[in-house]
Structure 1
Amino acid sequence: MELKIYNQSEELKLTVSTSSSSTWNMELMTENAISVSFTHPFYVPLDVNDYVLLSGVKFSINKEYKPKQKSTQEYTYSVKFYGPEHDAQRVMYLNLTDGQYDVQFSLDGSPREHLKKWVDNMNRIYGREVWSMGDVVVAANQTIEYNNSSCWDALASIAEAFETEWWADGFTINLSRCERGERISLGYMQGLTSLTQSENSNDVKFFTRLIPLGSTKNIDRSRYGYSRLQLPDKSTYVDRNTQYGLYEYVEEAAFAEIFPHYTGTVSSVRSEEKTGEDKKSFTIYYFKDNGMTFDPSSKDNEIAGLVKYVSFQTGDLAGRDFEANYNSATKEWEIINIYPDEETQIPGGNLIPRVGNTYIPWNFRMPVEYETQAEQDYKAAVDNYLKKYSEDVSKYGGDTDYIYIDTHNVPLQLGQSVRLTSDEYFGAVGYRDSRMTKVVRKLDNLSIATIECSNRVGKGWKTQVDNSLSELKYVIGQKEETVLDVLKSWDGRDITDYRVLSGLRTLKEIKQRALSRLENDEAAGHIKFKKGETVENGLIVRLPKQDTPAALMSCLLEEDIDTFIEEDEDALMEIAPAEISDLSFGGLSNVNSSVDSAPVGSLPVKGENEWSYAAPTLYAGVIDADNMLVPVFDRRTQTMVFIPISAIRGGVTPPPTGFPYTFSFALR
């Protein structure tokens, strides 16, 4: 493959022919790089930010490279060019809030808040808005400690904290399971020339016996009989796919948020100003829930030694837990404030409860019907968790058949959804749905590749999220939140899946790309009507000047002139010459072109198939006065008519200007 290498000033530095071993390597959360090998007759070192372009993506060198000298006229290169996401390895993840430049800080926020700070730091280095957010999972707030972290390491921490994956699509960063595109079927002799199985990394979870530990929230042992939530049949473990062997595993965190609970809605909010012992004022917030039919503070519902809490599910306080007191007389919850620092209280400022917010209260005994429902939810979560991790975790892949790949336009990209088919590997089902997690493409032919498919990746590159029920946290379902850029009418950036158009930009795009149904318009390219057309008020066809009638007709018709003009339909055909000076009588399709070179004084003559001319020469034959006609103008009828020369009486005096005689006329 011929590869052009540019310096950071976009000047061409080298043009090389790469070896057959040169590849484009893509692996989920690991690498997006081009490995290039070639020889060159001169010593040309490669500098940081020298780059190549491949499939519209810029791949750059991250450190200076000097080739190996084999002779005075031969230098060998074996160098890597990295995709734009690898710039994150050179950028620190800083806290830039209020002009800070902190490298050591903690952030308590949603997935979007953590990723937004990553985008801000990356764009800080670029000096403009280059990176943007794409798909982002929806999950409860998490606190992450960032300690001298690069943006690359920060991505790994964010993905691990929210139990998902990160991946880049150009300059769009995503925090979600990497799976995209329409599912394509691949198998041996169906796009693949080989199919192999390999072991996944050792830290990918796999077990066939799950020993679940239920939540202790809202569980009163004195009444329930257990200190933790139990499965409906009170079993202590669950087995699945033990034909693979007995592999035991204990899990508690995944089920911590499944417990007997009530989800309430805030009906009203009030606040009171108080003064503390230190003479500083503070605000206490109270809220009511008109839909709650039980009393959390009654003797029947109190659990000795436990302090009540409320966890907000929606609103400004979503994801936050607060100690709370319930007043049975006023039927109000009092929120106990949290003080992150001496000047701040939560709730406070904009972070306050509001009418319509939902919340879950806990650390008290719930009515029995809530315990029964919790057991059913717990069983469903345990079954799904075991089903997920007791499946084959192997990686499957093979080498591609480039002819099949090209013919069927198979995208060779990370996350591409695939259905691997094989009766031998996948038994009675005959297939395995997965996605591409590693793709190594040959630069000589990008359709020649080795692919690897896996439903899970190891913790070495952070755990993935299944897009079915949810990963790990079963109560807070993991959804994807798409953050969209709005392109204004003046914004020249390209349209992508993560950018939407403003109203004015939409009208601008329509005006540029579509033909108007309301106003006169024109198309810059050829338009083909596959199912014909109907013209109600006439059709005007303007064509470039044609040299011959045959060329003219070939512009108008493909098969038959009957397909061009329908019955009872007006059609006006205009032949537009390139310039006005090119107009001529002989250029018309039904006129012999020789008329343009006829002698002065010649007259046009209509033949059976075309017009020609009669030259002004003396007639040497016998004059038949009755059968020889001349044109004259009849003023009565305002038309030209032909009369025999015998009708002319009195003779004709030749004009003094001499021969040839000429007269002007107009063609209708």
Structure 2
Amino acid sequence: MNIQVKRKGIDTVELPLNGSTFTKKVMGEHNLAFSIVTAEKIDLRIGDTVTYKGETFTINQEPSVKRDHLYEYNITFEGNRHTLIRYILKDEGAFTFTYTGQPDDFMFMFLECVNAVDSGWTAGEVEDFEDVTIDFDKNDCLSALSMIAQAFDAEWDIKGKVISLKKTVGVAKDFPVSYGMGNGLYSLTRQSINDKVIVTRAYAVGGDKNLPEGVIGNLKLNDYIEKNVDLYGIREGIFEDEEIYPKRTGTATAVSQSSEEIFTLTDTSIDFDLNGKLISGESGKIVFKSGSLNGNEFDISSYNHATKTIRYKANKDSNGNFFPFGVTVAEIGDKYTLIGIRMPQSDIDSAYAELTAGRLKYLNDNSAPRVVYDLELDLLELKRRETLPDAGDIIPVSDSELGIDENIRVTSVSYPGHYPDVLESGMTFTAEVGNEVTYTLIQKVQNDIKEQKEVVTQYSKTSWENDRRNVQALNEFIGKVLDPDGNLAEPIQQAIVGMFGTPSMYYDLDGISMSVNNGGDPNAFAMTGGRLIHRVFKIDGLGYIWNLAPFSVTGLDPLKSYYLAAKCSRTSLTGEWVLTENQIPTEGDVAYWYFNFGILSSVLEGVRSFRATKGFTVISGGQIETDVITAYMIDVDTLIVKNLKTSSLGKRIEVIAAENNLRMYSDSSDLLLEIDDDNTYEGVNGSGDILFGAGVSVGSSPYNTDGYSSVGKKGFFTKGFFEGKIGLFSDTVKTSKYIGKTEKKTGQISNLSDLILAEGNVILNTVPDVGESCKIKNNTSSTITITASESLGQRFIKQLDNTTTFTMSLGAGSVASFQYHKDVADDLWIRLT
């Protein structure tokens, strides 16, 4: 069963759905991922699409491919929700702005922005909630959508290009599941969520504005509430929300401007006299919550209670300019609030009630361990009941052993892409269920939102004393520093911030490696192809990721040094490497930008070295932000790095954060050992799919003729020798060769392999060892025969039904595994599957 790939609406290639997995999470990933091994190259590009379950899925990142004698592809097509990452949320052209309103207001603003760059987006079901205010700061649209949902304590869902915003997405499904045959559940695993501590005693603290008389610091509840103390003991926690304080949100019924500096706002619903209510030591302010002045606050100069009119002053900048100004002024219907004012008792009571409700919800959410459950559902039972749980649905789950009997949210689902059209043995449908939903913000910069509190390390008294001594010693050091050569105007530079680098050098390289002294020749140099991702420069309408072609050169002058730069087109996302004696300015060519990378030295003591100049470094206070730190010794207690190399060439250890692995290289830069979280070769499964996972590997590749071994979570693989006890058929110690190989074969099988990809009829090994095993997959489109030996009578195949045959048939795409057994009476290849 295949699925058609399209490029700009035109059919290109077809991909097998039996090599795919569909995944969907509530407000999270939505993709169709393929893992394919093929002898032919597949033409796939960013922007290619498939239509699956009535929705369009797009390749947004280059598919990964590994090639030896076969091509191994990992391809991910993502749903429309992921295209929102491409666009920045804007309101009337502004990237940084504050917005106040109800869900309909936010959805109108959001769709207006998205449809300006990608038409066809519409609103689906949008439920009503109270007004909220959100600060946006250069957020991509998918992150912004999650921020909107989180602010309303709601959830978003996208089907096609229709966006819904509801209290809860999904529906209740009448599909009760429990462990056991015919009950719909193969396995159930409970996972603890450790990102929050258990709280059994809760306090509450609000904001510091408009505090009632006698309250100092913050609005707070003087008592506490408890839950589950008998189960978990006293575990204290504090509910905090600085936006909870006595306030009223009013609406302008009339506005006017008296002069360049004075404005008025009338609100006929004001129900108390502001005069005499100013809090001592503070100035009364009006803060706008919507309209052109949204987020701005102004000093109140007077209030007329008879007309319910507030008179406020414009803000004046250092150049003498006033704001509001021109057409950017308050309008009828704009919402506002007041601060610095002693509010009426009704508003104080409302604030305390809101704080009380927040504390109760906080305690209920945190008074027990938070868990989710991983379910493996029975696909046959799903098909029999004609149901398919979706992310967001609610299903009844029960398990008497784990004490579960309740309706639980399905937060994610994952199953083979060709289900339910095809039902095969070995298929799995996994679902995560739990009542916790995560608001995923795509941009890393979102980690700096206001709600996050900076954690400051607390030092002991001994540390303080050591720090003070170090500062005193540093002052002595500064007083002694001198320039022995007399060439420096200032031997010590003192500043608040130091920045090094230029905007043209702010870029990253992806998939590019350098070979200095290429092939042992100091006058040869090479760069592989790959991508240059620039942080500043871009081509409007196209992007900022250039594809660079491979580059190599020989015959360099040993007495000369060279500049290396990336020559990138100003009109297309293509480029090449250039190595020149003379530096070329970034803007030195009307058709290209030249992004300087670094300097290749002359030949010194038989070799060249390369020093990069790209990137930037910022030094401020006690922090250094940079790309690479090179040192002969680093003496620190804690070091957090993205990438670490003990040497640039030859024998070295590398830590690569982006891939989450550790590598060790030989003198000749060959990979010797790797610890990896997801890319260790684990062998081949019964369907012929190559498996990768967490583990340790020795050697550079499972296809390397020099040998390779790996230990993963799912098994052990080696391309060398294996020694151990064979316990099933023999107590003797034996040594076998070629365990774990994958081969394409036709005819005689002479080696022991983990998987034979049969290209035609095959004959099992004629000289097998006791306990030898072999797995064969019919890699053709027709039936093949498997023969037990070269000549009739030497040995037989014992089938699954215990009958013996000399020759058996194997259907197209089917898999059979065998193990050799020999004793006095029998001489058999026993079929295991």
- Look up the match of 1:488: none
Is structure 2 residue 310 aligned with structure 1 residue 334? yes
- Look up the match of 1:192: 185
- Look up the match of 2:135: 143
- Look up the match of 1:13: 13
Query: 1:258-277 CA distances to partner (integer Å, 9 max, x unpaired)?
Result: 43x567676x6363532xxx
Is structure 2 residue 436 aligned with structure 1 residue 456? yes
- Look up the match of 2:623: none
Residue 82 of structure 1 deviates from its aligned partner by 1.8
Query: 1:383-440 CA distances to partner (integer Å, 9 max, x unpaired)?
Result: 223212324421123011224433444342222233433454456xx31x44222111
Residue 363 of structure 1 deviates from its aligned partner by 3.2
Instruction: Tell me if structure 2 keeps the 8 A contact 1:315–1:353.
Output: no
- Look up the match of 1:213: 205
Is structure 2 residue 22 aligned with structure 1 residue 43? no
SS in 2 for 1:18: helix
- Look up the match of 1:82: 78
- Look up the match of 1:181: 171
- Look up the match of 2:397: 420
Is structure 2 residue 268 aligned with structure 1 residue 257? no
Instruction: Tell me if structure 1 keeps the 8 A contact 2:63–2:74.
Output: no
CA, structure 1 residues 178+230, in 2 after alignment: closer, same or farther (shift >3 Å)? closer
Instruction: Tell me if structure 1 keeps the 8 A contact 2:63–2:76.
Output: no
Instruction: Tell me if structure 2 keeps the 8 A contact 1:39–1:76.
Output: yes
Residue 307 of structure 1 deviates from its aligned partner by 2.4
CA distance in 1, matches of 2:265, 2:116: 42
Instruction: Tell me if structure 2 keeps the 8 A contact 1:183–1:417.
Output: yes
CA, structure 1 residues 9+303, in 2 after alignment: closer, same or farther (shift >3 Å)? closer
Residue 32 of structure 1 deviates from its aligned partner by 1.2
CA distance in 2, matches of 1:41, 1:387: 56
Structure 2 residue identity aligned to 1:172: V
CA distance in 2, matches of 1:337, 1:409: 67
Unaligned runs of 5+ residues in structure 2 are: 443-450, 452-833
CA distance in 2, matches of 1:217, 1:70: 67
Residue 182 of structure 1 deviates from its aligned partner by 3.2
Residue 371 of structure 1 deviates from its aligned partner by 4.4
SS in 2 for 1:383: helix
Instruction: Tell me if structure 1 keeps the 8 A contact 2:205–2:239.
Output: yes
Instruction: Tell me if structure 2 keeps the 8 A contact 1:436–1:451.
Output: yes
Matches within 5 A, 1:284-363: 284-287=263-266, 289=268, 292=271, 294-298=272-276, 301-310=277-286, 323-327=299-303, 330=306, 332-337=308-313, 345=324, 351-354=330-333, 361-363=338-340
Residue 93 of structure 1 deviates from its aligned partner by 1.1
Residue 287 of structure 1 deviates from its aligned partner by 1.8
CA distance in 2, matches of 1:409, 1:50: 32
CA, structure 1 residues 218+130, in 2 after alignment: closer, same or farther (shift >3 Å)? closer
Matches within 5 A, 1:101-500: 105-110=95-100, 119-120=111-112, 122-126=114-118, 128-130=119-121, 132=123, 135=126, 139-146=131-138, 150-155=140-145, 165-174=155-164, 178-189=168-179, 190-200=183-193, 202-204=194-196, 206-221=198-213, 224=214, 227-231=217-221, 234-235=222-223, 237-242=224-229, 243-253=231-241, 256-259=243-246, 261=247, 269=254, 271-274=256-259, 281=260, 284-287=263-266, 289=268, 292=271, 294-298=272-276, 301-310=277-286, 323-327=299-303, 330=306, 332-337=308-313, 345=324, 351-354=330-333, 361-366=338-343, 371=348, 374-426=351-403, 430-431=405-406, 433-446=407-420, 448-458=428-438, 461=441
CA, structure 1 residues 424+75, in 2 after alignment: closer, same or farther (shift >3 Å)? same
SS in 1 for 2:410: strand
SS in 2 for 1:382: helix
CA distance in 2, matches of 1:376, 1:160: 22
Q: Which has the higher helix share?
A: 1
CA, structure 1 residues 458+11, in 2 after alignment: closer, same or farther (shift >3 Å)? closer
Instruction: Tell me if structure 2 keeps the 8 A contact 1:6–1:51.
Output: yes
Structure 2 residue identity aligned to 1:7: R
Residue 145 of structure 1 deviates from its aligned partner by 1.5
Structure 2 residue identity aligned to 1:382: R
Structure 1 residue identity aligned to 2:163: I
SS in 2 for 1:284: strand
RMSD, aligned CA: 4.2
CA distance in 2, matches of 1:26, 1:54: 13
The answer to which structure, 1 or 2, has the higher relative contact order (CA under 8 A, 6+ apart) is: 1
- Look up the match of 2:28: 30
Structure 2 residue identity aligned to 1:197: R
Matches within 5 A, 1:563-642: none
CA distance in 2, matches of 1:161, 1:338: 30
Q: TM-score, normalised by structure 2?
A: 0.44
CA distance in 2, matches of 1:377, 1:47: 52
Residue 336 of structure 1 deviates from its aligned partner by 1.9
Unaligned runs of 5+ residues in structure 1 are: 275-280, 463-471, 473-668
How many percent of aligned residue pairs carry the same amino acid?
21
CA distance in 1, matches of 2:349, 2:109: 43
**Higher Cα Rg, which structure:** 1
SS in 2 for 1:199: strand
Structure 1 residue identity aligned to 2:282: L
SS in 2 for 1:182: coil
CA, structure 1 residues 453+257, in 2 after alignment: closer, same or farther (shift >3 Å)? same
Query: 1:429-456 CA distances to partner (integer Å, 9 max, x unpaired)?
Result: x31x442221111224249521112322
Residue 362 of structure 1 deviates from its aligned partner by 4.7
SS in 1 for 2:237: strand
Instruction: Tell me if structure 2 keeps the 8 A contact 1:264–1:289.
Output: no
CA, structure 1 residues 229+123, in 2 after alignment: closer, same or farther (shift >3 Å)? closer
Q: TM-score, normalised by structure 1?
A: 0.54
Residue 55 of structure 1 deviates from its aligned partner by 0.9
CA distance in 1, matches of 2:198, 2:190: 16
Residue 213 of structure 1 deviates from its aligned partner by 1.1
Instruction: Tell me if structure 2 keeps the 8 A contact 1:399–1:451.
Output: yes
Residue 216 of structure 1 deviates from its aligned partner by 3.7
Structure 2 residue identity aligned to 1:169: K
CA, structure 1 residues 377+125, in 2 after alignment: closer, same or farther (shift >3 Å)? closer
CA distance in 1, matches of 2:344, 2:148: 38
CA distance in 2, matches of 1:158, 1:373: 24
Residue 171 of structure 1 deviates from its aligned partner by 1.3
Count of residues paired in the alignment: 428
Query: 1:193-225 CA distances to partner (integer Å, 9 max, x unpaired)?
Result: 32221122x44575333231134443344xx46
Residue 106 of structure 1 deviates from its aligned partner by 0.6
CA distance in 1, matches of 2:263, 2:280: 26
- Look up the match of 1:652: none
Instruction: Tell me if structure 2 keeps the 8 A contact 1:46–1:66.
Output: no
Instruction: Tell me if structure 2 keeps the 8 A contact 1:41–1:75.
Output: yes
